Structure 1
Amino acid sequence: MAVSMPYPLLFIVFLLFIIADFVNGHPGVKYQLIRRHDLHPKWGLRQLVHSDMIRVGAISRKVRRQVREDRYEPACNNGSREHSSGELPMHSGADYGVGLYLVKLRVGSPAQKVVLIADTGSDLTWSKCRYKCRGARCGRRQRRRVFRADRSSSFRTLPCSSTTCKTDLANLFSLSRCPSPLDPCSYDYRYSDGSATLGVFANETVTFSLANRRKARLHDVLVGCSESARGQSFVAADGVMGLGYSNYSLAVKAAGRFGGKFSYCLVDHLSPKNVSSYLIFGSHKEVNISVVRIRYTELVLGVINPFYAVNVKGISVGSIMLDIPAEVWDLNGVGGAIVDSGTSLTVLTQPAYQPVMAALRQSLLGFKRLDLDIGPLEYCFNSTGFDAATVPRLVLHFVDGARFEPPVKSYVIDAAPGVKCLGFAAAAWPGASVVGNIMQQNHFWEFDLGKSRLGFGTSSCV
């Protein structure tokens, strides 16, 4: 749905594409972002923030019924463990008006390339797929890219009669139907924005290319072979790469091979296409990326699965700690906060949203407020003559003393030429708050699953 505004939107999202080889001889995995200059005509800022709010609503429902779950240890792959890391270069881009990351992944034996949405809030990795090929259709040329499971020697479906299907995969929407014991385990996987996919579970091999020309393979990765998918999010992709915290996610599986961690760095969402940004498996120390002083805070795992939660103490604006009730951040109650690359805006529950907006509005009273229909974005203004130095700095304080201080452009965001908005959306209370990817821009973020810590530091991401 297009936004009813007189200017072309500048609200940018990032897309990831895997490149086959590593750079400069460092073994490992790194993904680079690609920027495109035009938004899809059917998508705009209002549609993007609408999708954000649906996603946050689903997160909040998880919080209200949350039960602390088991922790998942990044298991080694057949006794092998890669401690070094490398990079797969990409270019930053904007497309479709949705806050997604697209990656190219090699799946199967021999490996086939598929383009997937990289989602830290999803645990199932799946692709549009042809499982069985019958009759004359087998020889027809495909109009769309699909994973040909029938051509992979390592593709093994899970029996619907297995305990894995009936019990372990229940949270991944496995279906109870089982016509015969050896029939494949089916799923009807639903996303919070209403999109969904139908298919069968299988174990498969995923391949990464290393700089020394060798191949690193992850065996027995749980994947979904989808016969159908619905949802606007899947127009530009073949499926989803699950990077959430789950025993069956690709992030946890790959952590056992690449040092127990993954990370990404998001450049300014208005960066030109020749500026790079990265998704890395393994340690960032052995890849060519400059980070100014990495700070660490506790990464709380197993509370709001598959999301990555953090222990927040409070928010200050202009060095003044705001009056936000402590229960807003209580992960053991009905609050809490998560860091999510799949949500664009930063979303605060009402008890936090109101004081943050009130504090920031004071510095913008000299600018004409605009009455624009951009969904939950409440405060937009004519930005002629705007100087970021006049806006008080916002700081997110963590319980263990770490501080995250984003640049002003990450919360006073560009909506159109001459138009800026406070980049926050309100969520119902009780529920979770979300640090979205616009707030995360120009920072490096490391998800260390082995040590249960989140690292972050200022970076140009190049």
Structure 2
Amino acid sequence: MPAGPGPLVVVLLLSLLLLVAGIHGRLQHEEEEEEEEVQDQEGGSSSFTLPVWAPHVPESGEERREHFRALMAKDMRRMMRQVPELMSKTDMFELPMRSALNIAQVGMYVVVVRIGTPALPYSLALETANEVTWINCRLRRRKGKHPGRPHVPPAATTMSIQVDDDGGGGGGSGGKSKVTKVIMNWYRPAKSSSWRRFRCSQRACMDLPYNTCESPDQNTSCTYYQVMKDSTITSGIYGQEKATVAVSDGTMKKLPGLVIGCSTFEHGGAVNSHDGILSLGNSPSSFGIAAARRFGGRLSFCLLATTSGRNASSYLTFGANPAVQAPGTMETPLLYRDVAYGAHVTGILVGGQPLDIPPEVWDEGPLGNDNPEAGIILDTGTSITYLVSAVYDPVTAALDSHLAHLPKAEIKGFEYCYNWTFAGDGVDPAHNVTIPSFSIEMAGDARLAADAKSIVVPEVVPGVVCLGFNRISQGPSIIGNVLMQEHIWEIDHMSTVLRFRKDKCINHQQLNRHHKKASSSSSSSSSSPPPYPAA
């Protein structure tokens, strides 16, 4: 017979059973006590409290700036993640972009966007400091429903624009007027199956900027009236539309949920030289935010030289753009200035020498927008760089000291102009002229170093150059597209970082590889003429 378990084994087993029974009893007792406590609470008070501590805010100015910038970055990441990406395997799309200076004699950049169903091309002016995307619109007039355009144009109209030879309507001394022709395409909501107009009764309408709704009537269109800083006016109705874009693999995809202003009235500025505005501003209603939220929270654009030929093309990109990450890329914290984007400036150098500028001119405050008149913003819709007097005076004085020996010229819209034919690199020994270096220093050791043709505007009229700066009575100061040209710029909402570096913007492989495929695919669905054909 096999031997039974020894006394030691029996003792161990009994101990283990007692231990398990004790633990079970304790757990059951705790559960009963918890139930009794909950019942007591139900019979008495119906609430409980937990302590909450306010976050620690640093005292020093620089630490407070970094603290609030981190909070804004967190909020922006939350907003960007609320909308899923358009396609799990798609990380970017691009839109072709050109300078309009040699096309329609206006100092802006136009982006070709295909909007509606079927998708039709529209040439829209790129604006980083605007929140409303609008298109010249033709509506069927319905009394009492929404405004209509008094003159009903055809789908595409050749417009004759009269401009002056002083650089696009400047009214320069002795400048001759000339007429240029551009083709404008009209957006017609009735012919787009994807158009959905907003009504005044909808909450979405009330959240849109510049809306002029006065009645909650469900059948009343959500109307708007916008007056821009340059006094340009646009008004019409809001709706939701889709854009057709060429994604990374070259295929065409729909980008939904875009807020579009169907403009029935435009006045001022250069409204006759493009089909509308493409807004990239920091607002949920802007095209830039709507597209970036679906493509990683990043957008970038490469600005060709403003004087580039009419067939030269660069690009506007949404998503990760490999071209941004290259040697020489600068990074600086991105500041949100209302709907515009800015950076914290630490100084300006001319000829390598720092200028005497009061530091409070650049002090936006810890939140980056506490002092709305301080600091500087980027605006691709503005050509010349506008500076407040405390900055403009030392900048122009330093630059004029290198050009003061040249004969002065009187040109409307500019204070400092000279009779001199611009040399390509800004160096002309025959006339003892060397355009000095000019750079804007920013937080994070970033530096925007401008070329000579960005410091002075060549050939404002034949044989005359002008300093590319103007005075602005109220801040913030504005970096215009002349100073931004021949750079690639990236706005990274996820990291709240502004990146930029020098780039001629003429050799972009991604655009060259897929643009033909996208164009051929979309042209089959539209007989509309190409934007800006030869006159």
Residue in structure 2 matching 1:436, options 466, 480, 484: 480
In terms of fraction of residues, the more helix-rich structure is: 2
CA drift of 1:312 comes to 0.3
CA drift of 1:191 comes to 1.8
Aligned length: 384
1:208·1:215 contact (CA, 8 Å) conserved in 2? Answer: yes
Residue in structure 1 matching 2:495, options 438, 451, 458: 451
What corresponds to 2:107 in structure 1? Answer: 99
1:291·1:444 contact (CA, 8 Å) conserved in 2? Answer: no
What corresponds to 1:74 in structure 2? Answer: 80
2:242·2:258 contact (CA, 8 Å) conserved in 1? Answer: yes
Structure 1: distance between partners of 2:503 and 2:385: 20
The TM-score, its normalising length taken from structure 1, stands at 0.75
Structure 1: distance between partners of 2:308 and 2:138: 38
- Is residue 252 of structure 2 the alignment partner of residue 246 of structure 1? no
Instruction: Give SS of 1:115's match.
Output: strand
Residue in structure 1 matching 2:91, options 84, 90, 105: 84
The TM-score, its normalising length taken from structure 2, stands at 0.65
What corresponds to 1:306 in structure 2? Answer: 339
What corresponds to 1:7 in structure 2? Answer: none
- Structure with higher Rg: it is 2
What corresponds to 1:123 in structure 2? Answer: 131
Q: After TM superposition, list the pairs within 5 Å mapping 1:98-177 onto structure 2.
A: 98-132=106-140, 142=155, 144=157, 145-166=185-206, 168-169=207-208, 172-177=209-214
2:97·2:316 contact (CA, 8 Å) conserved in 1? Answer: no
CA drift of 1:420 comes to 2.0
Structure 1: distance between partners of 2:153 and 2:484: 45
- Is residue 342 of structure 2 the alignment partner of residue 317 of structure 1? no
CA drift of 1:150 comes to 1.5
Instruction: Give SS of 2:328's match.
Output: strand
What code does the residue aligned with 1:106 have? R
Identity of aligned residues (%): 32
1:127·1:239 contact (CA, 8 Å) conserved in 2? Answer: yes
Instruction: Give SS of 1:247's match.
Output: coil
Instruction: Give SS of 1:374's match.
Output: coil
CA drift of 1:321 comes to 1.2
What code does the residue aligned with 2:137 have? C
1:294·1:457 contact (CA, 8 Å) conserved in 2? Answer: yes
Structure 1: distance between partners of 2:312 and 2:244: 27
1:178·1:185 contact (CA, 8 Å) conserved in 2? Answer: no
Q: For structure 1, list consecutive stretches of 5 or more residues without a partner in the other structure.
A: 1-67
In the superposition, relative to structure 1, how do residues 97 and 305 fare at CA in structure 2: closer, same or farther (>3 Å)? farther
What code does the residue aligned with 2:270 have? S
CA drift of 1:174 comes to 0.6
What code does the residue aligned with 2:381 have? G
- Is residue 315 of structure 2 the alignment partner of residue 284 of structure 1? no
In the superposition, relative to structure 1, how do residues 132 and 407 fare at CA in structure 2: closer, same or farther (>3 Å)? same
> Which digits, 9 at most, give the CA deviation of each residue in 1:237-278, with x for residues without a partner?
222111111111010111122232222222223334454432
CA drift of 1:382 comes to 2.8
What corresponds to 2:170 in structure 1? Answer: none
What code does the residue aligned with 1:126 have? W
Higher relative contact order structure (alpha carbons within 8 Å, sequence separation ≥ 6) = 1
In the superposition, relative to structure 1, how do residues 233 and 311 fare at CA in structure 2: closer, same or farther (>3 Å)? same
> Which digits, 9 at most, give the CA deviation of each residue in 1:396-424, with x for residues without a partner?
11122211111122102212443222211
Structure 2: distance between partners of 1:305 and 1:347: 18
Structure 2: distance between partners of 1:183 and 1:69: 37
CA drift of 1:438 comes to 0.8
> Which digits, 9 at most, give the CA deviation of each residue in 1:318-339, with x for residues without a partner?
2221110011112232311011
CA drift of 1:91 comes to 5.2
In the superposition, relative to structure 1, how do residues 213 and 354 fare at CA in structure 2: closer, same or farther (>3 Å)? closer
CA drift of 1:203 comes to 1.6
Instruction: Give SS of 2:377's match.
Output: strand
- Is residue 406 of structure 2 the alignment partner of residue 373 of structure 1? no
In the superposition, relative to structure 1, how do residues 89 and 128 fare at CA in structure 2: closer, same or farther (>3 Å)? closer
